[in-house]
Structure 1
């Protein structure tokens, strides 16, 4: 994959991450307002997916930075 295509992919992925983290924050807030403990709210599906996506984004970004 060329560096230009990877750069565009990273920009799109960053925009997706913003949406994922907003959705995860809403899920956590809604869970806390209904009396769910914090740990259970953090381990629900949406926050876990946002964290996994962030980790994959960072790995891809590091590969982009180290590419000649």
Structure 2
């Protein structure tokens, strides 16, 4: 089937379109690679590694009585 896209008379627009197509191809390749990745990390380790939860986690561990009430 022939390409039905109208030709663009300005070279800069054609270059922009090529760059956009290349960027989309790279995004698709990245997505394919990223989709196959897997990480085995426990939920607790993930929380410890998150700085904004570190102080909350330390407070919960320090107050084991309150933790058991939850």
- The higher radius of gyration belongs to 2
Work out which structure has the larger RCO, using CA pairs closer than 8 Å and 6 or more positions apart in sequence.
Answer: 1
| Bigger proportion of residues as helix | 1
**What TM bracket, shorter-length normalisation?**
0.3 to 0.5
Give me the TM-score of the superposition, normalised by structure 1. 0.39
Give me the TM-score of the superposition, normalised by structure 2. 0.38
